[in-house]
Structure 1
């Protein structure tokens, strides 16, 4: 029954009996399922989509879905790049999705890291050749940052009806917490707490670690995220702490109990920019990149910005936001002040 060894030493794995192996396997399954449940819904959905792509590939090439070898993963990359014409970031993520899914029940296949590395090296080679050939970039590219002048104009153009009240609150609060679209859609009423200085917003639905963002009252009432949130909460009569903070609205103007999907949250931000007549096509990620860009432009240090965005120390993504602003800073641009 897997009892401790009578020799005075711990049992080695080879000495486990059938009962102990079964109990350990059950624990592995339970822990895998629990870990999977902790992933944000949008991440789970992305992995499901990645797996469907992998299944289609395996069916076409007549190989089992569990055969994730160096050769098959490279062939998968080739299939996505040359036949499907997918973007670099999409292919990279689909590789990760396949590897993660294979680790879980019912497959329990641990893919050799060297096989994944070989596939990614091939992907990098494809991208390098495409750049050398000056091929058009694939995918949507980086989301344009929503700068403060654009945010002010967009908020000003929001209507005074219930739709405009919601959209204004989403834009201003989303900007203030540097929200991804899934984070904005995932907020519940209990995640937004009143404070004497403004709001404390617990961002729990996140692809990174959860974070709490202190959102102060704005100096300008028209762009104050705290006032905008309170106006929406009052107009929508939100009371249940477990309900979504931002809701669907029927075309008649009645606020629905259902929350927004991440896609819908992003669409609302895009539509608000278009209504304001701004030529740049903003996406759900634009408020996040906009906050990081404007905060750096205002002289905030990296640590203060990362506390809001949730970026890890040494994040290359955050580096990109910094460089957008720092490239014109006298201390970081070697051409400024040298006498040209």
Structure 2
């Protein structure tokens, strides 16, 4: 946002040594996950006496995921707190006593009006295993990214693998993956080199992922709240979108879904969706190597002889970077920069590896 304040992050899977080095010069804002923040408090990585404000984002979800002990520990180690901000997309959450909220003020930004930009359609599956119906649905949809929600981690991997086997490039995303793999798959989804992502409810909230036209419920969640969160990934900011519920003909709808829905017939025989127009290029250097977005863009355009229109989203991390490059230009780019140096140093630059589950 260009505030010029120092901001650091800490989370599981991120280099603890890098975090400790960053905290040597205290930031104005520290953003982290409950587990890693607790770890740093145990290590006494930074002075807590001057911390006046604590923000607990997705507070309701954190309680559901079992982070109560960690949040209790964090708050107990911050003796100078003057303000606590709890953010939640759902209401009526009981605030535990350890938060020590005195006379809280509630700010409600929800809208009572029904989201007219969102349409919900029912897709009936003739079989209990709905993979073929999902495949035919994807072949029937207009081009564009889609999130496919499942209720279990292992199912996301199975569905992703089967769709890849059928010829639709698909990735999966869930909380059991390594942090590095989760970040890589989200980079590809954001930059348009992957159109379909099979995920658990982990992707329903709090992720920096693009606006999309399609949300598909392969499984319906247990609660209406999670159903709303999933659907919130489309039809945002005045855009329109569609949520699809794939349901076995003999299964009953949960109670939170009422009323008649339009049934969308899907038929076999439609051609496969077009593959993504971009591929993700991996660069073995990032911010800590003194590389920035301009360095990578300039290198690809000048040394790689890439046309500006062939370069998409560029993301620079601490020690690695990713760039979306039009698929038709990748081979020429890699050939042109094979022996070239960027800012006087040779980096490994290649097509980013995929995270794909093999299905026998």
Using structure 2 for the length normalisation, give the TM-score: 0.25
Q: Is the radius of gyration larger for structure 1 or structure 2?
A: 1
Using structure 1 for the length normalisation, give the TM-score: 0.26
Q: Relative to total residues, which structure has the larger helix share, 1 or 2?
A: 1
